[in-house]
Chain A
């Protein structure tokens, strides 16, 4: 469909939008239609208007993202003038196409690219033209990709990565691969990410059981499945079995009075872990949860998950790695990572990703409004940080209660020490 073909529905809707400029859902509906008809630039303009009226509105942001993706994809908007072949973009470097019914994202980026005062992407890397290879999205993550968190990495190394690498030596020291370690901490702070990095280190020596597997277990075939998982792990020993979101699998049985099926799963997990600890047969269980206090206490007895490891909000090096990862593929200018790292203490990894998204949307909205690429700056991220509060607050409020009431056996000493240090206890 061409842009100037008459479209009564769209025309009447556009009139309606003009009549009610602050009606966000209506505007988004129009934007959606425009996008579907290949009029991406106009759609984006409506999106940014909607975002000005309702900042942070999720549907608007979603549409904005889709709109940008459509624009960024070379051939998707059908109305792109065929005269500019995507294969030869460099030719358009100096001369501008006279009329642009559509906002040409790539073209705009190129336009800005040769503006001389553009600063290097990261301040401290002045002179280094390549930032791409700092953290490329490789298919598998390795521990080296996990920024900071040295203590956590060390504990992982000691409790099973070392023994996995030198099983004979570990046995000689009476430290065979056995038992379990429970990662816990506020949501979005890298527990799953860390475990995946461990998987990257171990390759075939690692398998993961996630929440959806657990759900399948519940649907009747449950106990057999759990037994099956452990049997396979034993056969592949030495092996690390990762049970993510283990509160869904090992919930306190007293909470499950109405579900015999769920209680059975917990019992089965207890049995499986016991059989591991006795035989020392080279299977290590790594668990992760946001709420270790909801786990059946029997699961935390010796031989089961008897060690717990607190995964806190990312420290400075970790925040730097996360911010870098989230920014490096976007049009940025003069980003002062050090400043951002300082301003984002207490933010989770997921929060940081969200900050970067918000900042990018703002810069994009500006770009769309003016028709020129305005790269993302330090200020955009700082502004976003002022608007978006760290999501870890509620978790720490609960954790404080846990440190007060639930630490008689010292299992939450690490947490209590952290809270005390941060004057939260």
Chain B
């Protein structure tokens, strides 16, 4: 090869490398369309460059276009058979496409190629997790934490896998790992959100709400947060229903006399207020608009809370009028809500 040709070759390589880096940067700041364009433009000059193919495949992973992304990853592997990244991207796309067996194989290939690389092990752990092999996934995640103990992402991976496991011990592991993630990266919205989910699962709705509001502040654009808030409000509404059911039994038992009714209603209202305060005591001021917004996003939730507000209103009316048998309408409303919940559950499961 002549000197001049060698120089040209070198300049060309540089150009391709620069295009790959450009694409990676654009992906890092979420400009997936631009990133894809840059990567594809680079590929017209050099269709077999593994860096460009990897960059393109990674962009498509973020864009959740897994068929195309898999094709790019396959090409990257063909161009550089011992490159870890190509195998990792293949594994992740395969996993998202539900082809778990191949995905796990590709993931395993990554850790054999680069046994000390946390990113390789992370990819492997994710494929195992999505394939439902949670025990294996957890062990690999522990290895990731050993390899990169100071990276928040390692602990987040461990927490995420552990929180998928049903036993209480794993849940404790998950909680600790989430907390460690937040110590290393206090603005990690995903960890904050998922920790709140653990709180909700552990029947601590108020704590969950507080965590969710914090997660929302960290990353307000994340659409799942408001949906999780709605889920927690469903949970809270069940508590309210059970409480109202019990309270109504007492109310009807005391409905013989006007004073009895009034006293019972006063007790129920006072106890409701007390319980409410106790649950929601240390929610931030911002909770109110968030809760209102979440209730409004979901029609069924709106209906439920309107109905529960009506029940409280009935108790106020009893307190004023002394007519205790009005509490029967609370039961009617609660039964109606039960049907609503049942119908919604069937409908949503079908979707």
Seen from chain A, the residues whose Cβ lies within 8 Å of a Cβ on chain B are 211, 215, 218-219, 247-248, 251-252, 254-259, 261-262, 291, 293-294, 397-398, 400-402, 404-406, 408, 425
Contact = CB atoms under 8 A, between A and B. Distances in A.
Nearest to A262: B28
A292 to B, nearest CB: 10
A405 B290 contact: yes
B188 to A, nearest CB: 7
A406 B22 CA distance: 31
A215 B25 contact: yes
A124 B187 CA distance: 56
Nearest to A254: B187
Contacts of B309: none
Given A247-B29, A257-B152, A262-B25, A398 B223 contact: yes
A408 B221 CA distance: 14
B288 to A, nearest CB: 10
A262 B29 contact: yes
Interface stretch (B2-10, B70-78, B212-220): B212-220
B216 A404 contact: yes
B221 A402 contact: yes
A254 B185 contact: yes
Contacts of B221: 291, 293-294, 398, 401-402
A265 to B, nearest CB: 10
Q: Which 6 residue pairs are nearest across A and B when measured between Cβ atoms?
A: A405-B216, A406-B220, A402-B220, A405-B220, A404-B293, A254-B187
Interface residues of B, number: 31
Contacts, number: 78
Nearest to A416: B289
A293 B213 CA distance: 16
A62 to B, nearest CB: 16
Nearest to A261: B25
Contacts of B220: 293, 401-402, 404-406
Interface in B164-198: 185, 187-188
B30 interface: yes
Contacts of B30: 247, 251, 291, 294
B170 to A, nearest CB: 26
B188 A406 contact: no
B185 A218 contact: no
Contacts of A215: 22, 25-26
A217 to B, nearest CB: 10
A247 B221 CA distance: 14
A259 B28 contact: yes
A219 B22 contact: yes
B286 interface: yes
A26 B186 CA distance: 56
A228 to B, nearest CB: 20
A405 B225 contact: yes
A59 to B, nearest CB: 16
11 contacts: A247-B30, A252-B187, A254-B188, A257-B151, A257-B185, A262-B25, A293-B220, A294-B221, A400-B293, A402-B221, A404-B220
Nearest to B151: A257
B153 A401 contact: no
Q: Is the interface of B mostly helix, strand, loop or mixed?
A: helix
Contacts of B217: 405-406, 408
A383 B25 CA distance: 41
B34 interface: yes
A404 B223 contact: no
B286 A408 contact: yes
Given A405-B213, A406-B216, A406-B217, A248 B29 contact: yes
Nearest to A412: B220
Nearest to A248: B29
Nearest to B28: A259
Given A215-B25, A218-B25, A262-B29, A425 B293 contact: yes
B104 interface: no
A256 B290 contact: no
A161 B95 CA distance: 55
Contacts of A211: 31, 34
A256 B28 contact: yes
Nearest to B189: A254
Nearest to B24: A259
Contacts of B31: 211, 248
Contacts of B286: 405, 408
A70 B226 CA distance: 52
Contacts of A259: 25, 28
Nearest to A217: B25
A258 B293 CA distance: 35
B99 interface: no
Contacts of B151: 257
A222 to B, nearest CB: 10
Given A215-B22, A405-B290, A258 B28 contact: yes
Nearest to B290: A404
A218 B20 CA distance: 12
Nearest to B222: A401
Contact of A404 (B21, B28, B188, B226): B226
Nearest to A408: B286
Nearest to B224: A401
Contacts of B188: 254
B18 interface: yes
B216 to A, nearest CB: 3
Contacts of B29: 247-248, 251, 255, 262
A219 B153 contact: no
B49 to A, nearest CB: 17
A254 B217 CA distance: 14
Given A211-B34, A255-B28, A402-B220, 20 more contacts: A218-B25, A248-B26, A251-B29, A254-B185, A258-B28, A259-B28, A262-B25, A262-B28, A262-B29, A291-B221, A397-B223, A401-B222, A401-B223, A401-B226, A404-B216, A405-B213, A405-B217, A405-B226, A405-B286, A406-B220
Contacts of A256: 28
Nearest to A297: B187
Contacts of A408: 217, 285-286
Nearest to A249: B29
A257 B34 CA distance: 21
Given A404-B293, A405-B290, A219 B21 contact: yes
A186 to B, nearest CB: 13
B226 to A, nearest CB: 6
Interface in B217-271: 217, 219-223, 225-226
Nearest to B153: A257
Contacts of B34: 211
A406 B285 CA distance: 13
Contacts of A219: 18, 21-22
A404 B289 contact: yes
Contacts of A218: 21-22, 25
Nearest to B184: A257
Contacts of A294: 30, 221
A257 B285 CA distance: 32
